Structure 1
Amino acid sequence: MDDERTDRTEPVQDGGPRRRISRKNVLKAAVAAVPLPMLLGGVALARDTKPSDGLLTPTPYCDDGDHPTPPQMEGPYFKPNSPLRDSLIQPGTQGTRLTVSGFVFGLTCQPLANVLLDWWQADVNGAYDNVGFRFRGHQFTDQRGAFKLTTIVPGLYPGRTRHLHVKVQAPNQPILTTQLYFPGEPRNNTDPIFDPALLMNVRQNGSAKEASFDFVLRVRGGTTPTPTGKPTEPPGGTWSAGTDYRAGDQVTYDGAPYACLQPHTARAGWEPPAVPALWRRT
């Protein structure tokens, strides 16, 4: 399989190839080298591109025709059933406060509502909580396709640069598993899976840091219709939209049994077969 991160080449008059450098790659390289306190932006964001009928580059932003950025590995520390929350800060949490905000778009750069984002990361010492759910949580984009996460800057552990893990899933669509990175980190140059296409924009705000990143999923169309809240009964099942489910609840859908993995309010498009992050077939 070709490496999707490899730049395209074009023929030149002398018969040899030349590398086509896009505006996006120039921006990515520049941002990777900029010290963090100086950075006020630079990586193109999907919100900067107007909606159009043409298909745009999936993840991480709508830009000028580079190859799609592939998902990144899940790693060994993912746990299902994270709590529904948009802040991973708890009493006594140590570390530099970090706010990550952005939007989720489809291929036509239209915002996607009700998209699931499941986050996990290391604590300030570089350790993951594999017993409980510290620095783990999931949330959903609002009707504007926007999300906001409050957490801390993760610590370092051997072999890796600083990063955040996330799974992103639009209703009834495949899951994107990827990682987000910080500009100006020395270990960006030695981390074997670091990808500059997944750099966040990060700036200092007092003693805290603010980051922004826009996802583009392989989804055609735009905003998911707003759920009406009116329960609907699918054929042959007890699952219904508008119902508040708790972890462990049992339902049937289209003749098959399912167990709820995490608390949520059911919505159209989140039927059990379509959202494995919320339901497990039993």
Structure 2
Amino acid sequence: MDGHPSRKTVLRAALAAGVSTPAALMGVPALARTVSGTTNGPAPELTPTCDDGDDPTPPQMEGPYFKPNSPRRTSLLEPGTPGVRLTVTGYVFGLACRPLGGVLLDFWQADVNGAYDNAGFRFRGHQFTGGGGAFTLTTIVPGLYPGRTRHLHVKVQAPGRPVLTTQLYFPGEPRNNTDALFDPRLLMTVRDAGGAREAAFDFVLDVPQTPGPGPTPPPGGTTWTVGTAYRPGDRVTYGGAAYACLQGHTAQPGWEPPSAPALWRVG
């Protein structure tokens, strides 16, 4: 990593802020997860980029504990649930890096003691992404049980498409080195958050998409230039409006100031 925000980081920031996804960003490669915020150990290898011809998020075995017909909910917590609170957020994309709405995500996991509820539906639940492709899961950090490292199970299915069954992992876990199923491409980004933990992971599904249009030529009154290394505080104009740089980066197509609120502030 060269210290510049990735296009995926810009896209996440725009979606999180409620800004319309820039058309210029919709057809460019994106990381299936970001690595900023990883707190334990060296940064793992990145998942395959989201682009035509690349592999989607890797599948993994279902395991013996899946149960169909889980309740629809975004929180798996119940009153008095023990364990360290965990919030997982992310997006679901197709092969052209465009967000997918209406995607089913069905999660299941062990409790704090490493046990699965096979009689009921504790720590089991499904949800659907909204139009922007986002999801949020509120749960706990799962416990350990013999033979496995710490992990979450999930099935992901876009409407009318095959099911992706996979598992998500935590960085810095000692058992990552001994679990035969562990795949570093499925590591979440995890950080501490005041006694709780926050994680992020973005799924890329094998769903064909048409890339969005490329950037259109800017209107008059523009000093912003592709290839320029901007520093925080630098000022440019774009289409007659003034912008101040928020994060150091080298300008690229798709990062025009109106399309990159994580990088530029109006005024």
Determine helix, strand or coil for the equivalent of 1:180. Answer: strand
Question: 1: distance between equivalents of 2:95 and 2:56?
Answer: 11
Evaluate the alpha carbon distance shift between residue 151 and residue 145 of structure 1 in structure 2; reply closer, same or farther with a 3 A threshold.
same
Is 1:52 matched with 2:39? Answer: no
Gaps of 5+ in 2: 13-23, 34-46, 211-267
Alignment RMSD: 2.9
Match of 1:206 in 2: 194
Evaluate the alpha carbon distance shift between residue 189 and residue 80 of structure 1 in structure 2; reply closer, same or farther with a 3 A threshold.
same
Question: 1: distance between equivalents of 2:162 and 2:82?
Answer: 35
List per-residue Cα deviations over 1:129-165 (Å, max 9, x = no partner). 0000000000000111000000000000000000000
Equivalent position amino acid for 2:25 in 1: K
Match of 1:219 in 2: 207
Q: TM-score, normalised by structure 2?
A: 0.62
Query: 1:61 deviation in Å?
Result: 5.7
Query: 1:52 deviation in Å?
Result: 1.3
List per-residue Cα deviations over 1:52-76 (Å, max 9, x = no partner). 178x788956358875553100000
Evaluate the alpha carbon distance shift between residue 45 and residue 69 of structure 1 in structure 2; reply closer, same or farther with a 3 A threshold.
farther
Query: 1:51 deviation in Å?
Result: 2.1
Question: 1: distance between equivalents of 2:152 and 2:124?
Answer: 11
Is 1:168 matched with 2:156? Answer: yes
Q: Is the 8 A contact 2:56 2:95 kept in 1?
A: no
Match of 2:171 in 1: 183
Is 1:99 matched with 2:111? Answer: no
> Which has the bigger relative contact order, CA under 8 A and spacing at least 6?
2
Question: 2: distance between equivalents of 1:153 and 1:121?
Answer: 9
Q: Is the 8 A contact 1:181 1:199 kept in 2?
A: yes
Evaluate the alpha carbon distance shift between residue 66 and residue 195 of structure 1 in structure 2; reply closer, same or farther with a 3 A threshold.
farther
Evaluate the alpha carbon distance shift between residue 75 and residue 184 of structure 1 in structure 2; reply closer, same or farther with a 3 A threshold.
same
Equivalent position amino acid for 2:64 in 1: P
Determine helix, strand or coil for the equivalent of 1:94. Answer: coil
Question: 1: distance between equivalents of 2:101 and 2:55?
Answer: 25
In the alignment, which of 101, 106, 112 is matched to residue 124 of structure 1?
112
Evaluate the alpha carbon distance shift between residue 71 and residue 45 of structure 1 in structure 2; reply closer, same or farther with a 3 A threshold.
farther
Match of 1:108 in 2: 96
Question: 2: distance between equivalents of 1:107 and 1:67?
Answer: 8
In the alignment, which of 142, 148, 155 is matched to residue 136 of structure 2?
148
Question: 2: distance between equivalents of 1:100 and 1:57?
Answer: 17
Residues 1-282 of structure 1: pairs in structure 2 closer than 5 A: 47=11, 50-52=25-27, 62=49, 68-221=56-209
Evaluate the alpha carbon distance shift between residue 61 and residue 115 of structure 1 in structure 2; reply closer, same or farther with a 3 A threshold.
farther
Determine helix, strand or coil for the equivalent of 1:197. Answer: helix
The percentage of aligned residue pairs carrying the same residue is: 69
Determine helix, strand or coil for the equivalent of 1:187. Answer: helix
Runs of at least 4 residues of structure 1 off by over 6 A? 56-59
